[in-house]
Structure 1
Amino acid sequence: MSLRSRFNLSRLAIDYPWLTLGFWIAVSVAGLLAFSSLKYALFPDITFPVVVVNASAELTTAQATETKLTQPLEQALQKLEAEGLSGVRSSTYPGRAIVSLSFDVGTNLEQSVKRVDATLKPLKLPNGATYKITPVNLNESAVASYAIESKTQTLSRLTTVTQERILPTITQVPGVLKVNLLGVPVGAPVKTPPSKPNAAEQVALDAGSSAVRFNGREALSFEVVKRSDANTLDVVKVVDQAVVTLRSQLPDVQLTLAATQADYIREATDSTVDALGLAIALSVIVIFPFLWNWKATLISALAIPTSLFGTFIVMALFGFNLETITLLALALVVGIIVDDAIVDVENIARHLDEGGKSPRQAAIEATDEIGLTVTAATLTIAAVFLPVGLMQGVVGQFFRPFGITVSAAVIISLLVARTLSPLLAVYWLRPRRNHPTTHSWTGFVQVYWTLLRWSLNHRGIVIGIALLSFVAGLALIPIIPKGFIPKLDRGEFNITYTAPLPLAAQAQAAQAQAAQQAQATGSNVTGGNAATLPPGVDPAALAAQAPPVNPIADSLETAKKLEAFVLKSPEVETVFTTVGTRQQPNKGILYVKLKKGHTVHTAALQDQFRQQLPVIKGVTTSIEDIQFVDTGGEKPLQIALVGDDSLVLSQTAKTIKQRLEKLPGFADVTTTGNANTKDNIFEIERWNARRVAYVSANLRQDIALGTATDRVVAITNEVKPAAVTLDLGGDSARVGEIFSSFGVTLGLAVISILVVLLLLFRSWTDPFVIVLSLPLSIVGALLASLLTRSDFGMISVIGIIFLLGLANKNAILLVDYINQLRRSGLSRTDAILKAAPVRLRPILMTTAATILGMLPIALGLGAGAELRAPMAIAIIGGLITSTLLSLIVVPVIYALLDDLRLRLTGRKG
């Protein structure tokens, strides 16, 4: 008995039919139960552990604070690199330092806080210095905000009702970490700190309250923050049920859902599930015209739900959610899932149709012939995706569920194809004669055979065309738009603004700091922050005469003007305004929700608003997307200027900002260190123990992130002094991280493929034939991305890895059968000319099934389509070129390398 026969799992499945059926029935039932336990989410649970150290000391300048407070803190905390510390960012102001510690994704936040505390306790700081350690889990996000209104109660009375009746109820909801009350009327009592605050601190203290408006009306609001391990949809659902109860208990109070992540998550996951269902249907439909046998089609189709049920079990065991990435993985593997069954069933049907064999004999001989090939091909796909599941960092945590889900699905589909499909074929398939596709298919095969024979006789031309195609594909790389994550038409976005503090507030802050400086130096100095006031304004006189400062009132007036403009748009459904959040009274956010079925794309409306928003003196605005994952509010495009002189850095940043604001595509450009002057440095930013200044910007719809980054880098290199260096941040840095991570992953994937192929073929030539065919898929992927103007980024790159597995599978089917025929006594050329036409049908079937399965995703229908489409577009383009080229190029490369092998060994073919 040959090796193929000895390890033919299909024989065992056919010999023990009830055991086989019982096993897969049990898997299906368990899979259904596992599926019911999976939760819906937008993205994988990604945690960015951050610990913030907020320190203060009686120091009068930013430079002194940096030397005596910030740097000692940084130097002590750098020792935590061995504990997962990935970066240290600090902001220094006179008398105050804020040090933000970023830890590796997945690091235990509670343990990190304990390590930070233990590190700082023995540290010697200036006399009177104090610090506070605050853990920040960016995955603990606000999942819903409700507006609280009443036609019969004042805001003060409504505040009392909310605190006594509403907040206690919502706080008890499972999965809720905390509930923030917003919109407390100005002047409401605030908690007094243990020690009397100075004037500068009092400004922030009095602003501890905030203001809320909903659709142009004053309101209160409560904001629900979920636990990091809680599911957004589950929390929002239970909160909504609690709100329904509260409405019945408080009939004169209106509770309206003002903002939530749940709606978009639900729409996006529903759209992906619909695309998955359509992919399954199209993948099945395409099989029938090739086989013209409804029983064979049904056997192949049954592999899809059976394999998915098994995959759900693995997903449940790993704790994955049904979110965009895993649902996309399931939609993508539908083609591969059905591939294995197609190849097995098609080969069994071919053996039956050749005549003279019983169904059992045909099934065993066909699976003997194809089994090891299918196994190796599928294992190479798993080998491609397992490195994806083992990637590190943010990208790794993002794609780990993808890699493991795909690997699990293809391995389970292999088991289905090797056991269930042959068993059903034995009992359902029968020999056929002259079925309808015979004549038309024979004619098509003859055309292919003729082209293949010509190609074997003109190998130089074929290799030249293949190389030219590959070079052309590489030439497309510079002109393809590159991005991180595509802009989504979410129908919602934020308008943030920063208004100037009232003069009295500035004066009180300036006077307090000037007094501190005078006390420290023994002189009567009134400079310092007074420079931020208009010329001729005496801070001491203004501070003494001014009534108690209420900066939130002026900020609210700014919000009203912006809000009134936004509400005039016929595309806008609601505007939820929050003023004075995060202890910053002069800042506010307008959450804009568009009407369902809005006619203008979200990004296009954002660009309109940027051009038409009312210009308010001293007010800066920024129109921003709702972030996929909260990364602390940074903008997509960010660069860091690194140097030693804070003033030089600030001036360089200002110059870059001025240049960017004149270019199309850049919006809401901001810099750090705006207030720094030659005489007074108010703010010092540091990153990993070096001084930096940041330039950040949002991007308009008509510019890709990669293009924008290239322009910023070019401008920066033109204007920066030699002593200043450039680092990328934000999504610009993440793009580099992604391509770097995937470069390593691609290398590991190719090595994994080679290992599997070497074990299968036990020679070096055949694996290299297959590996050399892989670049042919990249040509189509890049061309398709260019033609559709699809940003080539994180999602597209995973499509390229996916293509490697598919293209590799087709090549294995060809090469392995050629070798089998040669071992049976055929010459190399005869084996090629016989094997390629026989394998033509399963290759075209699997390719067509995968392409049609990708079509619903590539068409970009439904919520979140912009995220899914680039991957499908890359796969479809790559499959078309790799299939067309590999059917000709692989046999030609096989012949060339075989000639080389024979020359090296001195043997004849």
Structure 2
Amino acid sequence: MVQPNHAKSARERFNISKLAIEFSWLTVSFWIAVVVAGLLAFSSLKYALFPDITFPVVVVNAQAPLSTALDTEAKLTKPLEESLKSLEGLEDIRSSTYPGQTAVSLSFVVGTNLETSKNNTEKALKQLTLPKGASYKIIPLNLNESAAVSYAIESSGRNLADLQKLTKDKIIPAIAQLPGVLKVSLLGDGNVAPPSTNPTGLPAVGTLIRFNGKEALAIQVIKKGNANTLEVVSRVEKEIQKLRSNLKDVTLSLASTQAEYIQKATHSTIDALIEAIILSVVVIFPFLWNWQATLISALAIPISLLGTFIVMAIYGFNLETITLLALALVIGSIVDDAIVDVENIMRHVENGSTPRQAAFIATKEIGLTVTAATFTAVAVFLPIGFMGGVIGQFFKPFGITVSAAMLTSLLVARTLSPVLAIYWLKPTPPRSPQRTSQLWAKFDLAYRDLLAWSLKHRRIVVGLGMISLIVGIVTIPLIPKGFIPKLDRGEFNIIYTAPLPSLPPGLEPGAQAGQVGQAGQEKQGGEGDTIERNQNNSVAASVLASSSQIQLPNPLNDSLQVAKKLEEVVRKSPAVETVFATVGSREGEPNKGTLYVKLKQDRNIKTAEFQDQLRSSLPTLSGVTTSVEDIQFVDTGSQKTLQLALRGNDLDSLNKTAKAIKEKIEDQPGFVDVTVTGESNQQGKFLHVERLNGQRVAYIGANLGQNLSLGEATDKITAEAKALMPADATLDLGGDSAYQSEVFGSFGITLGLSALCIIVVLIWLFKSWVDPIVIGISLPLALVGALLALLLTKSDFGMISLIGFVFLLGIANKNAILIVDCINQLRDSGLEKTEAILKAGPIRLRPIMMTTAATILGMVPIALGLGAGSELRSPMAVAIAGGLVSSTILSLVVVPVVYAILDDWFPRQKVTGNR
């Protein structure tokens, strides 16, 4: 195995410890400054559930005096799509067309400036010639401008009209002026507002609100896009407390908010982080039996974290699930570098050197090793920080946070740890039998004997390594595939759609204004007669609304009856704490409604189990569709967990096929809340046309029961769809299935890039291509344990566990680097290859066992899956812990054997001189 003579300069080049020791006062001063700056940076960080991601969406709502959906599609929708399809950064273009109106939704690449996208849309439309009488409105949507908190407003002494006036005059103005609040919406005005009209041609009176079975009003606080949810909710709650004290006869009750879950999830992750720190520190002492050395190693954790907070503040990151998880996972790795350095110093002190001599000798020996291990880990994590798309934006904070923590810990280990060792460690006499653990001595000897046997039976060892790898690969199909684990949030929505009542004869949408009052006349008009959304009917509706002779049906009341029946069933459960019902929508859809259900904290049932039970007990109401939905982290639309987009040109064929697919999967266990678009379309009579990226489309959506994994469900629904699809149609995945495909694709590329980065860094550091191959053997060995751990714990193989795999890739090669570099140093000092291997193994056994134990114990609080949001954290920790176990056990034996084999094939040139 060839090793050129420049190794000495490499070892010198990475020995910054020499300078740190010589200028110890400067070293200590620098780290004191880092601690102070880190504390200031930490105080500026905000809490959140997930990273801030901008989903820029621009909607173009257009109307024209056209009577059918097909005519509107041809003359309005298609020209709009054609003029907008070339916009910069456009990712998807979707449209919904009804007679006389269309809504075109433009989704831009994550991170695109929303204002720029809106301006570009305006410029493109100014050049478009629309049909006579057509108009349009451009609506930019910042999906981060979401509802932060809602409060129900009730009073036993005031009627709803008085309560509404009080809310408008005193409550809303007090909250609207708070920092971070975009607007405050009044809900429940349907009970007191005069009738108005909406695009359905029916009278609309806003929304109705029910809270725990009683009529009420409510306010909904919408936060600004760049505002922090927890900060906004905290300010609102303080203002609500003041209002409660001033308005004695009014009850203001918290109706819904994501803030509670965000607080619980972040606090649980912080608890896991603290527990990881404690366990990582506790494990060091039994190995070193020296409290000063333990303290020096342990100090690396808080100082490295404070240094990381500085980087997080510079990048504008929050303390949220992903960054906190990154910090919790990296705790064991942070302490690794310090452990290796301090353990090596301790070994020389125990062998008779003074602490100062030991610090110089040990840091020179270990410098290249520690640097190589950290640089290869950073080479893995940095590509994650620069992945593209939603997934890249989601995990950019993870990659950069982990990289910052590891680089900071390397600096601590190479500078502060040896300086503290000089002043804190005491010279010791040679270890007596009392100080040396007999158990450890036996373990040391047993390992040396195993290593000697392995070197004599190389084929058996390599064969066992190959078998273990094959076993790991074979388990892959047995592991359930998912996207993001289902969370036990204790809250969810029930969304329903009720049928709209028919207008009296002569007043259906499509009727002329002159026909108003001609009840009983034969209906006139074309295909648009029965469409639910036609703004051309506003004249008829307005006239009729003011007529005292004709009673117009009120869909809001019908919708209210549906909400009451659903609410009655939900509130019977002892696990339910509150039900907040919103009947109708502010977008003028009175037949739709949402029931926000909050479960009790001390319930004995998981959210997913309760949802499954509820689906089977909800009443079946004629014409009413209900869907039990999880709370979305970011409201990116109404996509369900599983969604198929069936694309083609023949609307009849698309609708027929979509309905057939729905009927097929409704009968299969695990598929729930199945819906299709275009159900109102009849043979040759189209009331509604959906389009995706310039093609007609029918969407089939479904949620999943708790016993059906996303991967299995996707395979089933895709197989059913392909069997029924017409020849001229194509199939696209949507919802979480699409994200899952994107995740596996992105991570496949990232893993490949990370592996390449590892090899490049190792070749650069070791100036040899053979040593990196030996070290690289440890990587597939780590995946074996990770896959088996996921299988045994029944954890999903999805986005979260994949991050664990990448993390594992970054830290698994540390052990191999320690062994290989020690073997090389011993051979350079004059030892023969086998002798060097047999000596290097036991020398590095203690730091390897220490670092592995520290990292695995640091994972335990996360892997146990305790506290809010644990479903997100657990799969990652399980994969890492399992991988570390297998890679440590196998690399302690397999790596030295592979080293010996490759050295036989490519003999290494001895390096002379002091390394």
TM-score, length-scaled by structure 2: 0.94
Distance 1:305 1:526 in 2: 75
Cα deviation for residue 436 of structure 1 reads 3.0
What displacement does 1:771 show? Answer: 1.6
1:71 aligns with 2:63: no
**Deviation, structure 1 residue 506:** 10
What is the CA–CA distance in structure 1 between the aligned matches of 2:754 and 2:908, rounded to whole Å? 31
Report if the CA contact (8 A) 2:194-2:205 is conserved: no
Q: 1:760 to 1:416 in 2, by over 3 A?
A: same
CA distance, structure 2, for counterparts of residue 40 and residue 681 of structure 1: 49
Distance across 2 between alignment mates of 1:575 and 1:508: 37
Displaced runs of 4 or more, over 6 A: 513-516
Instruction: For residues 611-668 of structure 1, give each alpha carbon's deviation from its aligned partner in whole angstroms, at most 9, with x where no partner exists.
Output: 0111111111100111122211211111111111111111111111111111111110
Retained in 2: the 8 A contact 1:90–1:685? yes
* CA distance in structure 1 between the partners assigned to 2:670 and 2:597 by the alignment: 22
Change (3 A) 1:132 1:765: same
Q: CA deviation at 1:241?
A: 0.9
Q: Is the 2:69–2:528 Cα contact (8 Å) retained in structure 1?
A: no
User: Do residues 396 (structure 1) and 392 (structure 2) align?
Assistant: yes
Confirm or deny that 1:729 pairs with 2:734: yes
In the alignment, what sits opposite 2:284?
287
Distance 2:402 2:691 in 1: 42
AA of the residue aligned to 1:756: V
Q: How does 1:389-788 map to 2 (within 5 A)?
A: 389-430=385-426, 431-432=428-429, 433-434=431-432, 436-504=435-503, 508-512=507-511, 525-526=524-525, 528=527, 547-581=551-585, 582-788=587-793
The offset of 1:476, in angstroms, is 1.2
Superposition deviation, residue 427 in structure 1: 1.5
* Distance in structure 1 (CA, Å) of the matches to 2:294 and 2:742: 44
> What TM-score comes out, normalization by structure 1 length?
0.94
Residues of 1 paired with 2:355 and 2:523: CA distance? 104
What is the CA deviation profile of residues 152-184 of structure 1, one whole-angstrom value per residue up to 9, with x for unaligned ones? 111112111111111111110100111111100
Q: Distance in 2 between matches of 1:902 and 1:714?
A: 55
Q: Alpha-carbon deviation of 1:513?
A: 8.5
Matches within 5 A, 1:779-858: 779-858=784-863
Task: Give, in angstroms, the shift of residue 528 of structure 1.
Answer: 2.7
SS in 2 for 1:774: helix
Match of 2:306 in 1: 309
Question: Does the 8 Å contact 1:669/1:696 carry over to 2?
Answer: yes
Partners in 2 of 1:393 and 1:715 — Cα distance? 30
Q: Does 2:169 correspond to 1:159?
A: no
3-state SS of paired residue (2:41): helix
Q: Confirm or deny: 8 A CA contact 2:153 2:218 kept in the other structure.
A: yes
Amino acid at match of 1:362: A
**Contact residue 60 and residue 513 of structure 1 kept, 8 A:** no
Given the superposition, is the C-alpha separation of residues 781 and 220 from structure 1 closer, same or farther in structure 2, using an over 3 Å criterion? same
Read off the aligned partner of 1:34 and give its amino acid letter.
Answer: A
Provide the secondary structure at the position in 2 that maps to 1:676: coil
Alignment of 1:309-348 (within 5 A): 309-348=306-345
SS at 2:696's partner residue?
Answer: strand
* 1:531 CA drift (Å): 6.7
Q: Distance in 1 between matches of 2:815 and 2:161?
A: 71
C-alpha distance after superposition, 1:379-433 (max 9, x if no partner): 1111110001111110111101111000000000000001111111112223251
Residue 138 of structure 2 aligns with an amino acid whose one-letter code is I
Deviation at residue 282 of structure 1 after TM alignment: 0.3
- Residue 363 of structure 1 deviates from its aligned partner by 1.0
Superposition deviation, residue 7 in structure 1:
4.0
- C-alpha distance in structure 2 between counterparts of 1:228 and 1:324, whole Å: 19
Partners of 1:400 and 1:663 in 2: CA distance: 39
Pairing 1:4–2:14 present: no
Residue of structure 2 aligned with 1:359, choices 355, 360, 365: 355
Q: What does 1:40-59 correspond to in 2, within 5 Å?
A: 40-59=47-66
Matched to 1:402, the amino acid is F
What root-mean-square deviation, in Å, do the aligned CA atoms of Structure 1 and Structure 2 show? 2.1
Determine which of 369, 373, 377 is the counterpart of 1:373. 369
* C-alpha distance 505-273 of structure 1, shift in aligned 2 (>3 A): farther
- Deviation, 1:722, is 1.7
Q: Would you say 1:107 and 2:112 are equivalent positions? A: yes
Q: C-alpha separation between the residues in 1 aligned to 2:287 and 2:195? A: 75
Give the conservation status (yes or no) of the 8 Å contact 1:147–1:221.
yes
Higher RCO, 1 vs 2 (CA within 8 Å, ≥6 residues apart): 2
Structure 1 position 191, deviation (Å):
7.2
Whole-angstrom CA distance in 2 between matches of 1:629 and 1:185: 28
* Shift in alpha-carbon separation, 1:505–1:644, aligned structure 2, 3 A: farther
CA contact (8 A) 1:513 1:529 kept: no
Residue deviations 1:268-307, cap 9 Å, x none? Answer: 0000000000000000011111111111111110110011
Distance 1:381 1:190, change over 3 A: farther
CA offset at residue 208 of structure 1? Answer: 4.8
Contact 2:499 2:623 in 1 (8 A): yes
Per-residue deviation at 1:2?
5.1
What amino acid is aligned across from residue 603 of structure 2 in structure 1?
H
Indicate the percent of aligned positions where both proteins have the same amino acid: 63
Corresponding residue of 1:168: 173
The aligned runs of 1:208-247 (5 Å cut-off) are 208-247=205-244
Unaligned 5+ runs, structure 2? 1-7, 516-521, 533-539, 911-915
Q: Distance in 2 between matches of 1:358 and 1:103?
A: 64
Alpha-carbon distance in structure 2 between the residues aligned to 1:359 and 1:904: 34
Q: Which whole-Å CA distance do the structure 2 matches of 1:515 and 1:492 have between them?
A: 50
Contact 1:156 1:185 in 2 (8 A): no
SS in 2 for 1:139: coil
CA contact (8 A) 2:67 2:526 kept: no
The 3 A distance-change label for structure 1 pair 302 and 903 is: closer
1:346-372 deviation line (CA, Å, top 9, x unaligned): 1111111122x1111111100000011
- How far 1:526 sits from its partner (Å)? 4.5
SS of the equivalent of 1:886 reads: helix
* Partner residue in 1 for 2:262: 265
Larger mean CA deviation between 56-65 and 313-322 belongs to: 56-65
Worse overlay, 318-327 or 429-438 = 429-438
Paired residue for 1:382, among 375, 378, 382?
Answer: 378
1:899 Cα offset (Å) = 2.3
State the distance in 2 between where 1:771 and 1:58 align: 68
Rounded Cα–Cα distance in structure 1 between residues aligned with 2:240 and 2:250: 11
Report the 3-state secondary structure (helix = DSSP H, G, I; strand = E; otherwise coil) of the residue aligned with 1:585.
coil
Q: Give the 3 Å change call, closer, same or farther, for CA 771–164 of structure 1 in structure 2.
A: same
**Match for residue 35 of structure 2?**
28
Secondary structure at the residue paired with 2:190? Answer: coil
Task: Provide the rounded CA distance (Å) in 2 between the counterparts of 1:278 and 1:113.
Answer: 47
Query: Per the alignment, do residues 20 and 554 of structure 1 end up closer, same or farther by CA in structure 2, a change over 3 Å counting?
Result: same
The answer to whether the 8 A contact 2:787-2:879 is kept is yes
Contact 1:510 1:529 in 2 (8 A): yes
Distance 1:335 1:507, change over 3 A: farther
SS at match of 2:619: coil
Cα gap change, 1:414 to 1:567, in 2 (>3 Å):
same
CA shift, 1:449, in A, is 1.1
Partner of 2:536: none
Deviation at 1:902, TM superposition (A): 3.9
Answer whether contact 2:268 2:867 (CA < 8 A) is retained. yes
Local SS of the residue matching 2:824: helix
Following superposition, the deviation at residue 249 of structure 1 comes to 2.4
What residue in structure 2 maps to residue 537 of structure 1? none
